[in-house]
Chain A
């Protein structure tokens, strides 16, 4: 396990909810894709209350976190969710040693509109129904507006096995962020370089480089958010501090 830098040269804007685009997100996706079809079929669907952790090519960090009463014990290192005398639920959680994304030469906020056009003409031809409601409900005509980020190059700091990380990213991650199947977040090239600096969790001046439990960085304003992949999954949420690095160009 050694420190390394991952760089993605981007072809398209990235559709993202500004959750930091931590590197373990795409790596977890790649590890899932790398399983045999049989092994993949055995993984519970992502809609389940708990999402699997995969064997990522990254080292781990560990720290104490304030949890929710409903937190799955599998989020913690020792499988225990405790509560103190004030009823505050806590435990020792872990995450992967990798930073959130850093836009190397700056980033510009933008928006991406995704249209959902009701299939009116097709319904006229193929269906036997008399009416369709397009003002609301599941077949509403709508433009979905997503926040996006325009950046030429993204960089992540990590600790782990750089060769395996690069192989997984090149093999399985042609795009990052949301709506990748309709052209967004396409990566032109993934590269890896070694570094002597371990800025995977805290930066050169103590910056918070990734989302961390609030108890690990008590001097920072905190909110709620996921501390390891999959970041959209509620099972990964704890009281935590957002990364400071996104878009900073550091």
Chain B
């Protein structure tokens, strides 16, 4: 693996929602609403389109990369402080004031544990910006037609407004004691009280037990909708490139029938929402003004031509320096 080169590049993606997608922005009434972005349309009016924030996608990458690194190093569960866990999975926090920054420490940790430099972090009085810029994930629709990548310019979805792709789903939370087998598990007192409540025989002053039965609703973007986005990176070392690939590979939950890696995006993944099949087009920057990218299979995650030597070198580095890395993280956090 070339350890001296510096890489600049872009990894673009289009994604097809295999399930409805919910990326929420709070609740209105009893409905969890979608996160929307204001878009200025060509006629000067403002439209609103659902989107998935770059921050959310960046978290998917950070989480995948950290899980990969910790597993590669064989770090046992329950062995880190919460400050270190926070640094790794949430990017840490500024915890000290002062104007003298320990640059040597920042360089050391970036060399030892490349994923921290890739995703950025804050520790002590120092904030290290991430080396990746993760774009928001946008819906292919009429309002977004002016910013789609070339591969989607003729997509039929661009003739339809964003609202066409929106839908509403609901879930039901059951009152568990309606099931006789669950009812039988209650203590005798609670069972009697429940029976008295059902037959309308509650004693004077006896409190009615609240039923857990409820419907909840949430807005989604329909399965089959097409999305686009990407990330750019600058000044990557070969190790940082491998760290990014490790993150994308670890975050994937499998592949679709046509081999596209699947990621879980947004909320409610545990109840059947948010699987998206991604198609990548990656490139390393060839010219710098204006930037043009040449296809580079070596930076793709999960590709047949993926550079396995680079990944092996990354894993070997993590294993070899495991104690140094864990010590440096403890110091940093």
Contact = CB atoms under 8 A, between A and B. Distances in A.
A125 B77 contact: yes
Interface string A117-140: 111001101111100100000110
B10 to A, nearest CB: 9
Interface in A125-175: 125-129, 132, 138-139, 150-152, 166-167, 170-171, 174-175
B116 to A, nearest CB: 14
Nearest to B75: A126
A17 to B, nearest CB: 17
A184 interface: yes
B90 A119 contact: yes
A152 B40 contact: yes
Interface string A30-61: 00010001000100010111000000000000
Interface stretch (A83-91, A104-112, A202-210, A214-222): A104-112
Contact of A127 (B82, B136, B291): B82
Contacts, number: 137
Nearest to B42: A152
Contacts of A107: 40
B46 A183 contact: no
Given A113-B25, A182-B134, A183-B134, A129 B81 contact: yes
Contact of A181 (B99, B120, B126, B291): B120
B43 to A, nearest CB: 10
Nearest to B67: A122
A12 B46 contact: no
B103 interface: yes
A108 B288 contact: no
B86 A123 contact: yes
Nearest to B36: A110
B289 A170 contact: yes
A127 B130 CA distance: 24
B29 interface: no
Contact of A174 (B103, B229, B232): B232
B38 A13 contact: yes
Contacts of B88: 119, 122, 126
Contacts of B58: 181-182
B77 A126 contact: yes
Contacts of B92: 138
Nearest to B59: A117
A84 B67 CA distance: 62
B125 A127 contact: no
Given A170-B289, A182-B54, A182-B58, A126 B85 contact: yes
Interface of B: 6, 25, 35, 37-40, 42, 44, 46, 53-59, 63, 66, 70, 75, 77-82, 84-86, 88-90, 92-95, 99, 101, 103, 120, 125-126, 129-130, 132-136, 147, 229, 232, 234-235, 288-291
Interface of A: 11-13, 33, 37, 41, 45, 47-49, 105-108, 110, 113-119, 122-123, 125-129, 132, 138-139, 150-152, 166-167, 170-171, 174-175, 179-184, 186, 188, 190
**Nearest 6 pairs between A and B by C-beta?**
A183-B54, A138-B93, A119-B89, A183-B136, A182-B55, A182-B54
